[in-house]
Amino acid sequence: MSESSAARTDATVSGEDEVVDLCRDLIRIDTSNYGDHSGPGERAAAEYVAEKLAEVGVEPHIYESHPGRASTVARIEGADPSRPPLLIHGHLDVVPANAQDWTLPPFSGEISEGCVWGRGAVDMKDMDAMTLAVVRDRLRSGRKPPRDIVLAFLADEEAGGIFGARHLVDNHPDLFEGVTEAIGEVGGFSFQVREDLRLYLIETAEKGMHWMRLTVEGTAGHGSMTNTDNAITELTEAVARLGRHEWPVRITKTVRSFLDELSDALGTTLDPEDMDATLAKLGGIARMIGTTLRNSAAPTMLSAGYKVNVIPGEATAHVDGRFLPGFEEEFLADVDRIIGPRVRREDAHGDKALETTFDGALVDAMQSALVAEDPIARAVPYMLSGGTDAKSFSDLGIRCFGFAPLKLPADLDFAGMFHGIDERVPVDGLQFGTRVLDRFLDAC
């Protein structure tokens, strides 16, 4: 913990003052998630969050789904308890980082070039820090939110949320009683299209996932012998077909809305049938948007054999499959056709696609809070190509949005920050997001 952020409970300290230190502290807690039962640092991060909440009079509760896999949940009393509570959720775990690949140590939380650097800076300890900063500021100054707020700082999102959000939804649904709406990660970030207009992309949809295990059984034998039933050959040919497949464009409601907003902002018509030209106008977010136009299946792991002169009897591959809302059946049928009958497909992990409409009082509150801090802001809906803990919370009937507001430099490769090297978040972006979140709570 940095000296500057230790026990800063003075009422004169604002959320904007301490958000950077909170983010740095969280980054310094290595919460790498390796996708197994281990969760180094998640318990420490949950305890850090609980301590920061307790300092301002909140009664946090830590829920451990497995030794070390811990989440912190708290409820903040609002001015009108008859209104449905709002859930603000964020995950504390991060994907691993190889320090040798980074310019600065990934768990140092160093400040350089106007940014806080480190694993989790944008995914998503920035939002965790902003949420803590806003809540601590409001409670120090005695400003209740208009309605109850449920805070959930979660384990295991980076491996599907089994030990985090899914555990809480399945085993402690009472924690979210009455909640109808939620905000979480990967939304509310800026994309400047003109000098007089910045779009802020609000996540209203997520692709579904099918993490698949592909298996081929062949005839084992000596590596020197001709073998026309080689499992490796059959599998790699199938995986190559899948990895190179050109998936057809499918325009969902959310993507159609985004393209309409972008067309208006650019003053030109964007043709869904010529997406290369459309994506060329999107700069750094083209990768993020481009993957929401199609289903996808990315081969990620291969395994076979135990000795160079032995042809194995079995070969396996893992594939990260993602499907658009409403296109799951088409996706699976296409996968089966592409890989062929010799390949056995099994689900390693799956979750549904999500999509909600871009309307209502909560959306109005986002727009008004953004414009108050950035007069050229316009909130627009978009689809996330990955998944978040919203998938678990939606099972409770909660309408989920991605809203972690950041005003970003036009030249920052924001999409490349997610799971990439040299992950970093601008200091002034953190402070901007803290101000916007505070206004948002007043308006929602």
pLDDT score of 6 = 44
More confident residue, 267 or 22: 22
More confident residue, 7 or 274: 274
CATH of region 3-185+386-443, choose from 2.40.50.110, 3.40.630.10, 3.40.190.10, 3.30.1540.20: 3.40.630.10
**Closest C-alpha to 391, from 348, 346, 347, 355:** 355
DSSP letters, 396-414, are: GT-EEEE---B---TT--H
Break the chain into its structural domains and give their ranges. Answer: 3-185+386-443, 205-351
Tokens of 277: 């030209």
Tokens of 118: 């480190």
pLDDT score of 104 = 97
Q: How many helices (H) and strands (E) does the chain have?
A: 13, 19
Lowest pLDDT segment from 79-83, 248-252, 277-281, 425-429: 277-281
Q: Report which residue type is found at 400.
A: C
Terminal CA-CA length for the chain = 33
pLDDT score of 123 = 95
Contact 214, 339 (CB under 8 A): yes
| Predicted confidence (pLDDT) per residue in 337-373, tens digit | 999 999 999 999 889 999 999 999 999 999 999 999 9
Tokens of 333: 């049928």
Region 200-225: what's the mean pLDDT?
Answer: 96
Region 224-241: what's the mean pLDDT?
Answer: 96
pLDDT score of 285 = 65
3-state DSSP call for residue 420? coil
Are 3-185+386-443 and 205-351 in the same CATH fold?
no
pLDDT score of 20 = 98
pLDDT score of 1 = 40
pLDDT score of 282 = 67
- What separation in angstroms does the CA of 203 have from each of 99, 184, 377? 31, 9, 16
| Predicted confidence (pLDDT) per residue in 256-302, tens digit | 898 888 888 877 777 666 767 666 766 666 677 778 989 999 999 99
Whole-angstrom distance, CA of residue 389 vs CA of residue 154: 9
Region 400-421: what's the mean pLDDT?
Answer: 91
Domain spanning 205-351, CATH class = alpha beta
More confident residue, 271 or 104: 104
pLDDT score of 92 = 98
Q: Of all residues in the chain, what percent carry a pLDDT higher than 70?
A: 93
Whole-angstrom distance, CA of residue 328 vs CA of residue 320: 14
Lowest pLDDT segment from 11-25, 330-344, 359-373, 423-437: 11-25
Q: What angle do CA 194, 120, 184 make, to 5 degrees?
A: 65
Lowest pLDDT segment from 77-91, 251-265, 326-340, 368-382: 251-265
Q: What is the pTM of this model?
A: 0.90
Q: Of all residues in the chain, what percent carry a pLDDT higher than 90?
A: 80
Region 237-264: what's the mean pLDDT?
Answer: 92
More confident residue, 52 or 276: 52
